[in-house]
Structure 1
Amino acid sequence: MELPSNLVPDEANPEWMNKGDNAWQLTTATLVALQCIPGLVILYGGMAKKKFAINSAFMALYAFAIVMICWVGWSFRMSFGDRLVGFWGKPGVAVDEKFLLKQAFLGYFPNATMVFFQFSFAAITPILIGGALLGRMNFRAWMLFVPLWHTFSYTIGAYSIWCPDGWLAKLGIIDFAGGFVIHLSSGVAGYTAAYWVGPRPEKDRENSEPNNILMMLAGAGLLWMGWTGFNGGAPYAASIDSSLAILNTHVCTATSLITWLILDLSVFGKPSVVGAIQGMVTGLVCITPAAGVVQCWAAIIMGVISGSVPWYTMMILQNKLNFLRTIDDPFSVLHTHALTGALGGILTGFFAVPKLCRLFFLVDDWDKYIGLAYGLQNFRSSGGVRQMVVQLVGMSFIVCLNIVMTSLICLFVKMLVPLQLEEEELEVGDKVIHGEDAYDDLRDGDNKERRFGNTRWHNSVYDPDEYPSKMLKSSEMQMV
């Protein structure tokens, strides 16, 4: 029996490649990339004060571009290549067709697909760090910080947890799509960097309303829908486990958002859009390490926890503890990513189902992956306890790694350029930093001249008795 002509192997479609898996993996990589560009660009641009809209969006755009250069230049192979030490791979380029067209270390697709897929994860991580630094970090310092942090922190976490030769991977840690590698690391690194950069001026901290909440919603929507690729691509196949991961992702996120909304209504009496976005983010983060290895009902429980615990720490505890108020964290990455990423990793160790772990890991010793709840149920409590210990060890490693490396990188960058913007840049914002404004201000004389030209209306030569309907009150003019 002959295969259909479109499935017959040829030079461009080797026998080991699955066209469906390859197409799915490229699609999921693009969805994750869209979370960055334009997702977080729009979210940050709308969330920041008006005077920092361009600067905030540009930080995300720059990080996306520079990580791509690092990724193909040396860091992909530091994250997934040959072993240098137990927690780090050897640096090497990923630009030669002999390497890029070979089968990837996992999955039925080429290295080129794997490089692009994993790049999208590597790129979003420093962009999330940027959420803790908006409105005051020197852009030149950011230009140095991103490639250094990516090289000396991200690659260590990725190799240790995701590379089959990594020490935590060998221990049996479960991090389905980056609860530790991406979210815990970005949350801890962002909060640490915020300490070294210093706070915004007090008046900016007191009056930090978003300049465009509708833009925030658009960015948040891209972030949520893009998470289909974030978690759906983690099995490296268009499989049943990928389907479950996607469903769990959206169920947990919706539950978390609704939980946050109910708490806002109950305590503050108003349904907050910004609060709903935060609840969405915490749900996405919490389910990420568990998406394809837990039951759907467990995803609902995780959504309730991710919508309530971070809500309490951000909305209540933040105002009670002085040390939490000291460090300026505009996007609350400590709560939405560090705390929630840790919660997700711990809950993964509790709810992970052995059968689902077998479907995901596809290794001979799959039975070592067992959540504590199932260990207790099946009289394998020692295995469940071991899994929880491994999760806690991995969490501690990522926290310590990012506190130390982020601090060292910030201190190094500080020797070259100031970490914080100068006083005039902090006062004026984008116009001084980039020479550009996000929005035309029609109250400015030059802009009004450009908008209205030399019309008789602009020069107020209409006779109010002859043309009463064409005369504008000064307050109305301001709104045009």
Structure 2
Amino acid sequence: MNGADTAFVLISAALVMLMTPGLAFFYGGMVRVKSALNMLMMSFVSLGIVSVLWVLYGYSLTFGDDIGSGLLGNLDHVGLAGIDPETLTGGKEGIPVFAFALFQLMFAVLTPALMSGALADRVKFSAWSLFIALWVSVVYFPVAHWVWQADGWLFQLEVIDFAGGTAVHINAGIGALAAVLVVGKRIGFKKEPMRPHNLPLVMLGAALLWFGWFGFNAGSALAANGTAATMALNTQVATGAAMLGWLVYERIRHGAFTTLGAASGAVAGLVAITPSGAHVNALGAILIGVVAGAVCSWAVSLKYKLGYDDSLDVVGVHLVGGVIGTLLVGVLAIDGVGGMSQLGKQAIGAFSVMAFSFVVSWLLAKIVDMTIGFRASEDDETSGLDQVFHAETGYDFSTVGGTPTGRSTVPDLTETGAAAPRNKKVDA
């Protein structure tokens, strides 16, 4: 066993784990106050559901020996059976298989959580939990096998996806779009203001994602080596460049540099460099970041033109950013694999995952909707999902600004996220 590499992968796994609560904060600050806890829980619950399913059969379906045609692993390792804890991956000197399994588990946890932002404010928590279980089983595990297992068909095609542009971001982004089309639009979409209720929380979430992403990207080298260092450096510079690209586009188009734009631009850069960062130099990473920031900033506006309600811009950031990073590596790779041939392979990888994930995700969302109902009732959506599904509220205003009459002058954020006039009274 290589002790340094093992420690590096275990630490990277912990960093990737942190990305899921970071995502919860990022999304949680972007919704209206009445459903903030529900948004946090939609990400957080993935840590429970996917962790269990990964041990039961997810690892086996993803990294078990192929059952044929490079589409799926076998079930020889159900419950992680038949795996010696002392077995190493990576050759003569490697890391324990369980370290690798833990690292990949965190990827599986994060991917369905990414989709939750597209469905914010309007779905049943039980239905979402069921959808997660079905989606990772039928969509994520097979696609991850295609991309990362040695006998997966996209791996055999030599599609470059170092850390998850296809398996994670394109997969989640297009799956989210399919689910949105089944569930439908929020009440008041394009008619009522639905502004973020807590932008500092959004910035905190983006910072945690940025921090954890070093484990996500550099850790995918599975060794403390030059590839990991290259990936870490490119992750940083691409993310910074994407943030700047988003802000410049936003300033030209809308006249302001917003904190939400800075946070979203950073995430777009993280997404785009994920598949490509180990195969481009620092200048290539900057170019990928700038393109991703500007294009994703433009792409998030498409939901208003095309009429699909992607609440928190999962499609515009993760799908579009994932496609940009996946395709540009075919053009910018410096290690002898770039060129039109590689670009063609990258396109096959990106669009095959899009087609499979969209169709199956739509069917799974439809099954959930037709059985237990995917969408919350109109009354529940209007009043807010926190009390309905969790019997809690994100903010307790009852002891703030009390008056002798038992009334409070705190801003009314319950409906639109916009502060009411300072003298407006609301129930304590």
The normalised TM-score by structure 2 is 0.91
Q: Tell me the CA shift for residue 318 of structure 1.
A: 4.7
Match of 2:334 in 1: 353
Q: 2 CA distance for matches of 1:406 and 1:98?
A: 31
Match of 2:78 in 1: 93
Larger radius of gyration: 1
Question: Is 1:343 aligned with 2:324?
Answer: yes
Q: Tell me the CA shift for residue 93 of structure 1.
A: 2.2
Q: 2 CA distance for matches of 1:105 and 1:24?
A: 14
Write out per-residue CA displacement over residues 376-422 of structure 1, whole angstroms, 9 at most, x where no aligned residue.
xxxxxxxxx22111111111110111111101111221232111001
Match of 1:391 in 2: 346
Write out per-residue CA displacement over residues 239-295 of structure 1, whole angstroms, 9 at most, x where no aligned residue.
011001000011000011011112222222211111111111111111110111111
Q: Residue 117 and residue 181 in structure 1: after superposition, are their counterparts in 2 closer, same or farther (change >3 A)?
A: same
Match of 2:2 in 1: 18
Native 8 Å contact 2:124 2:374 kept in 1? yes
Match of 1:364 in 2: none
Q: Tell me the CA shift for residue 100 of structure 1.
A: 3.4
Q: Tell me the CA shift for residue 314 of structure 1.
A: 2.4
SS at structure 1 position matched to 2:277: coil
Q: 109, 112, 135: which is aligned to 1:149?
A: 135
Equivalent runs, 1:71-150 vs 2, <5 Å = 71-85=54-68, 86-91=70-75, 92-96=77-81, 98-104=83-89, 108-150=94-136
Equivalent runs, 1:72-471 vs 2, <5 Å = 72-85=55-68, 86-91=70-75, 92-96=77-81, 98-104=83-89, 108-202=94-188, 206-315=192-301, 317-319=302-304, 321=305, 324=306, 326-354=307-335, 370-372=337-339, 385-429=340-384, 430-442=386-398, 458=404
Q: Tell me the CA shift for residue 136 of structure 1.
A: 0.5
Q: 1 CA distance for matches of 2:175 and 2:186?
A: 18
SS at structure 2 position matched to 1:84: coil
Native 8 Å contact 2:276 2:329 kept in 1? yes
Q: Percent identity?
A: 33
AA partner of residue 69 (structure 1): V
Question: Is 1:28 aligned with 2:12?
Answer: yes
AA partner of residue 337 (structure 2): I
Write out per-residue CA displacement over residues 294-325 of structure 1, whole angstroms, 9 at most, x where no aligned residue.
1111011111111111222224x554x3xx2x
SS at structure 1 position matched to 2:67: strand
SS at structure 1 position matched to 2:221: coil
The normalised TM-score by structure 1 is 0.81
Q: 2 CA distance for matches of 1:232 and 1:110?
A: 18
Q: 1 CA distance for matches of 2:223 and 2:355?
A: 33
Native 8 Å contact 1:60 1:127 kept in 2? yes
Q: Tell me the CA shift for residue 35 of structure 1.
A: 0.6
Unaligned 5+ runs, structure 1: 1-16, 355-368, 373-384, 461-473
Greater RCO between the two (CA within 8 Å, min separation 6)? 2
Native 8 Å contact 2:299 2:320 kept in 1? no
Native 8 Å contact 2:219 2:228 kept in 1? yes
Native 8 Å contact 2:59 2:80 kept in 1? no
Aligned length: 409
Write out per-residue CA displacement over residues 205-253 of structure 1, whole angstroms, 9 at most, x where no aligned residue.
6321111110111011000111111111111100011001000011000
Native 8 Å contact 1:294 1:351 kept in 2? yes
Unaligned 5+ runs, structure 2: 407-421
Write out per-residue CA displacement over residues 88-144 of structure 1, whole angstroms, 9 at most, x where no aligned residue.
101332445843331136771111101110011111100001111111011111111
Q: 1 CA distance for matches of 2:269 and 2:189?
A: 32
